[in-house]
Amino acid sequence: MTDQGNFPPPKLGEPYLLTPGPLTTAYEVKEAMLRDWGSWDADFRVMTDEMRMRLVAMLGEGGDDFTCVPMQGSGSYLVEAMLGSFVPRDGKVLVLANGAYGLRAAKTCDTIGRARHLLDMGDYMPPRGADVARILAADPAITHVLAIHCETSSGILNPVAEISAATYAAGRKLLIDSMSAFGAVPLEPGKIRFEAMVSSANKCIEGVPGFGFVLARRSELEAAKGRSHSLALDVHAQWEYMETTGQWRFTPPTHVVAAFIEALRMHEAEGGVAARGARYANNRDVMVAGMRGLGFETLLDETWLSPIIVTFFNPADPKFDFARFYELMKDKGFIIYPGKLTVVDSFRIGCIGRMDAAVMTRVVEAARDSLGELGVASATPPAAALEERAKLAQAKVRETA
Ligand SMILES: *Cc1c(COP(=O)(O)O)cnc(C)c1O
């Protein structure tokens, strides 16, 4: 195999997007958009059908009770649609937050008028099953728990299995934002119980942005009739219309759907969720090992590191300037991502998209050269960053003791 393997560089000369979606897509995915489709035409209805079936199949064990409802908009539209459709107007949500997307879900509850209890773990500490059990025992009004599968703002893979166990042990229902994990990290309802999850076209399935989808238990969907606060974001109404007409209720992003079907076929050809997850994990391992070799440190240790995106502390060296580092990396063909931690400065590198370990090796070389151009001798982070990380290690000991 050549250095380029099965993942040649983007044909159009654009940089690699080391970001968690939009991300680098295959040329074939972009090419699938070079044709117009009538949204009511039988050909497009067949495409919608194929897409829904493929997504349900991706759930694996226990997926038979589930159906798929695609919906226009970015991922946040889907989170809002899920909360508004599955949580009754007099229900209450326990929102488990350890980053920006959890906090956004809490704000969504406030905006659409669903009561909520927020467990805010800060920048990256994981919400644990014991936390969920304690809060649910104290508040019988809570009907649903919302968990973020991979909290993309730090890259932490949250412990959804223990969260699910605690939720159902207390007789409540689990909803999952698996936006940045679905398609690469298994989420089988036969193993981890939940009622509904959402994801979008432009993350691990490697499509382009424009819509997302709900995978929900049919019984929950049936119960959702008339519940939504919104006309456009009503999951039950979209489902009912799609089941009876084969069409989307309002104009679908036809080109994006065509691209997504190509992406789904490529996902299957690669070997499905297991193979996609293995490629991303290998991307992460090669990239993290290389970056550590330059002196960089990750926020999270191996236990919590997702194969989706990794947070690195900025180096302590005062010659390091993220804005310049970003531009130098971009000049070399790689777009990285600023950090979102509130306590210490950081940046992120995504592992998802149409790229493999050979690309990640070049990312590390580009980082090494960029540091050299900045005059930074070592990428070692400041002591404050390492103290921050020690807190996480201690929390883990406390929780598992
Ligand atoms: C990407 C993402 C979303 C949705 O964000 P949009 O900008 O609306 O697409 C929601 N939750 C998580 C965890 C995400 O990674």
Tens of pLDDT, residue by residue over 107-120, are 999 999 999 999 99
The answer, yes or no, to whether residue 254 has pLDDT greater than 80, is yes
Over range 81-91, report the average pLDDT.
Answer: 98
Q: How many whole angstroms from 200 Cα to the centroid of ligand 1?
A: 8
**Ligand 1: nearest atom to the Cα of 77:** 8
Judge residue 326's burial from the number of C-beta atoms within 10 Å of its C-beta, 0-12 exposed, 13-18 middle, 19 or more buried.
Answer: middle
Report pLDDT digits (tens) over 291-323. 999 999 999 988 899 999 999 999 999 999 999
Specify the residue with its C-alpha closest to ligand 1, atom 12: 179
Q: How many residues does the chain have?
A: 401
Report pLDDT digits (tens) over 343-392. 889 999 999 999 999 999 999 999 999 999 999 999 999 998 988 888 87
Q: Are 46 and 377 in contact (CB under 8 A)?
A: no
pLDDT bucket at 7, cuts 50 / 70 / 90: confident
The SS3 of residue 345 is coil
The answer, yes or no, to whether residue 1 has pLDDT greater than 50, is no
> Is 362 marked as a binding-site residue?
no
Q: What pLDDT, on a 0 to 100 scale, did the predictor assign at position 396?
A: 61
The answer, yes or no, to whether residue 285 has pLDDT greater than 60, is yes
Report pLDDT digits (tens) over 151-172. 999 999 999 999 999 999 999 9
Which CATH number is 28-268's, of 3.30.420.40, 3.40.640.10, 3.30.930.10, 3.40.50.10490?
3.40.640.10
Residues of the chain within CATH 3.90.1150.10 domain(s) are 11-23+273-400
pLDDT bucket at 5, cuts 50 / 70 / 90: low
The answer, yes or no, to whether residue 399 has pLDDT greater than 70, is no
| Exposure class string for 64-100: b at 16+ Cβ within 10 A, else e | eebbbbbbbbbbbbbbbbbbbbbbeeebbbbbbbbbe
Q: What pLDDT, on a 0 to 100 scale, did the predictor assign at position 3?
A: 46
In whole angstroms, what is the distance from residue 369 CA to residue 333 CA? 13
Specify the residue with its C-alpha closest to ligand 1, atom 3: 75
Q: Are 98 and 311 in contact (CB under 8 A)?
A: no
Q: What pLDDT, on a 0 to 100 scale, did the predictor assign at position 185?
A: 98
Q: What pLDDT, on a 0 to 100 scale, did the predictor assign at position 388?
A: 83
The answer, yes or no, to whether residue 401 has pLDDT greater than 80, is no
- 10 Å Cβ neighbour count for 3? 9
pLDDT bucket at 340, cuts 50 / 70 / 90: confident
Residues of the chain within CATH 3.40.640.10 domain(s) are 28-268
Q: How many whole angstroms from 38 Cα to the centroid of ligand 1?
A: 29
Ligand 1 pocket list (CB less than 6 A): 20-21, 74-76, 79, 101, 148, 152, 177, 179-180, 200
Domain 11-23+273-400: CATH superfamily, name plus number: Aspartate Aminotransferase, domain 1 (3.90.1150.10)
